Amino acid sequence: MSQWRLPGAVDDRHTFFAHALALAAAHGPGPWPDGGYPLPDEESPPVMSGSVHDGIRTHHFAVNDGTQAAVKIAEAISAIVESPPDLVAVQRLHDLIAEHDTLTIADPLTDRLLGADRDRVREVGRWLAEYGTRRDAVATGIVLIGLTGDERDRELLLLLGSMEDLALYAVVALGRTQSDRDMAIFELARRVRAWGRIQAVERLEGTTDPEIKAWLLREGFRNGVMNEYLAYIAATTGGLADALTESEVDDEVLDAAGDILAALSDVGGPAKDIRSYPEGHAMIDRYLAVVRHRPSVSRIRAVLQLDQYLEDGRCEQLLTDLAWIGVVRRALDSADLDTFTDALWPAKQIGLKTADRIAAWLERYPCEWGLWIWFRDAEDAVKTAERLLPLEDLVTGPALEHGFGPEFQADRALGLVVEREDVRSWPLVKTALSNRLIRNRIAAVRALKAWPRDSLPADALPAVRAAAAIEPDNEIKSALTELLAA
C-alpha cells in the first residue's frame, strides 16, 4: 500500500517556512532580529504581536473556550484523513484554521483527534507547518505535530519555533515528541529572547541536566520582557545558592546573581518572588558581601534595586562608597554611548548630574530617542529638539505606523518631546501632526487641546483642517474634527 501523502501547495504566497529558512540563512539559528517580525502575513509588526498576546493570556488571564471552533476544525481534519489526499480540501482547512485563535482551540482540538490516524494527522500538521501562509494555520499545524509527531519533526519544530510568534507551540510540541525533551527545549530556548524564552524556560524548571542548569543560572533567565518571570527558576533550578557560596565567585555568576536577586525583590511581580525563595535573604547578604569590592555599573544597578526592597540601610554604605560612585562617573565620561546610557539610571539614583552630558551626546546623536527620555528640563528639551531634530524629514504624512524598529528613531524622539506637558512649540507640534506615527499625532492633538485658543499660531487651525481631511485613523480624525469645532 502506498503512503498517504498530501501534494504540495502550488500558489506563490510566501510561507512561514520559507520566511524561517530565509532568516536562518541570513542570521543563523537565532535569536533572529526582531524575533522574526514582521511575519509573512503582516506588513509591519502590530501593536501587540501574537506571542505577546499568547504570553499575557497564558500567564495573567483565562483563555477563552474555543471548543465550538475546535469541533468544526476536527471534523474537517477527520474528513481529510479518512479520504484520499486532497489538496483543495487541505487548502480549505488552512483558510478555516487561519480565522481562529490557536491558543483557544489547541486543547479541545487535541482531545477530539486522539482517535484519528496518527500518521495522517501528522501529515496534515506538517503540510500546514510547511505550506502555511497565515500565523494560526501554521501554529495549529505545529499543535498537530505535537499530538502525532516524533523525532523526525525536531528540525522543523526548532526552525519554526525560532520565530517568537510560534515558539510557544513549538516548545510544547518538542516536549511531547522528543525523547530528550529537556535538551530539545533548551536548544529552542537559546534561539529566542522574549516570550518564547519565557515559555521555554518555564518548561525546564526542575531539570537535572548540568549544562541546562548552568545556562539557566548564568544567562537563561534573561529575556526581552521581564527577568522577573524567570528569576525564581534561575535561583532554584539553576542552583544560585550553591554557586554564590563557592569560595571563588566568577564575574558571570556575580552579574547573574545581582540580576536574579534584584528581580526576585520585585515583590508582587508577575511570578514567584523572594517570598517563595527560602534562601533569598541569605543570598542577598552573601551577594552584598561578595560584590563590595567588585563594583560595576550593572552591579550598582542591582544593589540600588535591592536597596529599594530592603529599606534597612544595608546597601547605603556601598552606594555612598567613593569607589562605587567613581565607577558611575567613569561610565558617564565614557566615549561609548551604550556605556553612558547604562549609567544614567544609577547616576540619577545616587544624585549625579547628567544634563550637560546628555545634551552633548544629543549634539552627536540627535535621533537617539533613548537620550530624550532622560532630558529632564522641558523648555530645554523643546529648544534642543527644534534645533537638532530633522523636522522636514519627519513630515511624512499620516500613516498607521506604531514605530517599531530602528528606522523610527527620529520619529520616537519627536514624540517624546511633544508628549510633554504644556508644549508650546508650533514647529514640533505641526511636525507631529503630519508624522507617520499614530502616537505622535495623538500627542499633537493633546498639545493643541491644551493650547489656549487665543494664542494659537495663525496657521494652526488650517493645518488641523488639512490634517483631518487625510487622517487614516478614525479616532484621531474625530479628535481633529472636535478641535475645529471647539
pLDDT reported for residue 229:
98
Which cell goes with 384? 534642543
Query: Cβ atoms within 10 A of the Cβ of 477, count?
Result: 17
Q: Domain residues of the chain, as ranges?
A: 1-204, 206-352, 355-485
pLDDT, residue 9, reads: 87
Inform me whether the pLDDT recorded for 474 exceeds 70: yes
User: Residue 44: what pLDDT?
Assistant: 65
Q: How many CB atoms lie within 10 A of CB 464?
A: 22
Write down the pLDDT at residue 12: 79
Model confidence pLDDT, tens digit, residues 389-419 = 999 999 999 999 988 888 999 999 999 999 9
pLDDT at 1: 44
Q: How confident is the model at residue 311 (pLDDT cuts 50, 70, 90)?
A: confident
pTM of the model: 0.91
Taking the alpha carbons of 394, 397, 398, 399 in that order, is the dihedral positive or negative?
Answer: negative
* pLDDT (tens digit per residue) in 434-452: 999 999 999 999 999 999 9
Phi, psi of 312 (to 5 degrees): -125, 10
Distance of alpha carbon 383 from alpha carbon 428, whole angstroms: 10
Cα(158)–Cα(170) distance, rounded to whole angstroms?
Answer: 7
Cross-strand partners of 207: none
Provide the b/e sequence for 225-250 (b: ≥16 CB within 10 Å): bebbbbbbbbbbbbebbebbeeeebe
User: pLDDT band for position 43 (50/70/90)?
Assistant: confident
Cell numbers representing residue 129 in the block: 507547518
What's the rounded Cα separation, in Å, for the pair 237 and 212?
9
Picking from 98-102, 278-282, 359-363, 376-380, which range would have the lowest pLDDT averaged per residue?
376-380
C-alpha cell at 266: 520585585
* In the predicted structure, residue 46 carries a pLDDT above the cut 80: no
Distance CA 236, CA 217 (A): 9
pLDDT of residue 107: 97
How confident is the model at residue 300, as a pLDDT?
98
Rounded average pLDDT over 308-323 = 92
Q: Is 67 exposed, middle or buried (0-12, 13-18, 19+ CB in 10 A)?
A: middle
Q: What are phi and psi of 401, to 5 degrees?
A: -90, 145
Identify the band that residue 2 occupies on the pLDDT scale cut at 50, 70 and 90: low
The enclosing H or E element of 291 equals helix 280-291
Measuring CA to CA, how many Å separate 449 from each of 238, 311, 358, 413, 429? 53, 42, 30, 21, 11
List residues bridging with 177 in a β-sheet.
Answer: none
Mean pLDDT of 129-148: 98
